[in-house]
Amino acid sequence: MITICVLQVPEVLPEAYWNHFLSQVSAERREQASRFMHQADAYRSVLGEVLTRVTVSKFTGLAPAELSFTRNSYGKPSLIHHSNVPFNVSHSGDWIALISGGVAELGVDVEKIAPIEMQIAERFFSPMESQFLATEPAERQRETFYRLWTLKESYIKAVGMGLSMPLNSFAILPDERGDWRCEQAEEHRFHSQRLDDQHMLAACSAGGDLPSQPEIVTLEDLYSQLKHRGSLGY
């Protein structure tokens, strides 16, 4: 079963939580976190890996800290010793999102909604998507832009090619029922929703139904699960 987990990033992490989270991520992640100028960036980076370790470890029989990751040539992460366990992670603004489960390739994207020039759609969207966006009421155009953007990002992340696949080389549009579809990849499933007033979430599966709502993970849940699964050693 495919699940989507979301975690809201706090403004300040308790020191005990932060120290324990740091001890459970890779040395590369700790070094990266130490270089960030803004603490919020360090929080997102470290918590994204912790959420991934805690959630994905359930499919492997390993403790969260025992997992090892690699990336393909386009930057998509995977497990070194359990490459058949699909997952994908994204973070932006106040939220981290993780999709995992099933057997097909997965992609997820979360973006903070900010003011944007609509002309950018002509550079990155297909002609059909640009036309669809232009026909939306003015008060809905920014939301539609971010909905399309996150859907497209979730698709290229699922495919595993990153931005080496031009965003304007495919189109994701709603069908007559309002479900999002990609004509170039009809087998893929899509999900889109607002997480709150300022953040958009989208997910893509190459096979298998997506949940209608994400599971909200609290900081306390994450800390407790990390302690529990680490102590069990699986």
Two structure tokens written together for 15:
């020191």
Is pLDDT at 231 greater than 90 in this prediction? no
Is pLDDT at 232 greater than 80 in this prediction? no
Q: Which of 40, 39, 21, 42 is nearest to 31 (CA)?
A: 42
- pLDDT at position 97 is 98
Average pLDDT over residues 120-141: 94
Span 21-70, pLDDT tens digits: 999 999 999 999 999 999 999 999 999 999 999 999 999 989 999 999 99
Average pLDDT over the chain reads 93
CA angle 154, 155, 161 (to 5 degrees): 105
- pLDDT at position 24 is 93
- pLDDT at position 233 is 45
Specify the residue for token string 């709603």: 174
Specify the residue for token string 């698709």: 155
Span 144-159, pLDDT tens digits: 999 999 999 999 999 9
Helix H or strand E encompassing 91: strand 87-92
What is the C-alpha separation between 103 and 84, in angstroms, rounded? 7
**Torsion angles phi and psi, residue 199, rounded to 5:** -140, 140
Amino acid at the residue 75: G
Range 127-130, long-range pairs (CB < 8 A, 24+ positions)? 128/171, 128/173, 129/171, 129/172, 129/173
Span 162-216, pLDDT tens digits: 777 889 999 999 999 999 999 889 999 999 999 999 999 999 999 889 999 999 9
CB 111 within 8 A of CB 95: no
- pLDDT at position 197 is 95
- pLDDT at position 73 is 85
Measured from the Cβ of residue 5, the count of other Cβ atoms closer than 10 Å reads 22
What is the C-alpha separation between 104 and 1, in angstroms, rounded? 11
Measured from the Cβ of residue 169, the count of other Cβ atoms closer than 10 Å reads 10
- pLDDT at position 164 is 77
CB 50 within 8 A of CB 226: yes
Is pLDDT at 92 greater than 80 in this prediction? yes
Is pLDDT at 234 greater than 60 in this prediction? no
Cα–Cα distances in angstroms (integers) from residue 1 to residues 18, 90, 99, 203, 208, in the given order: 31, 20, 11, 14, 8
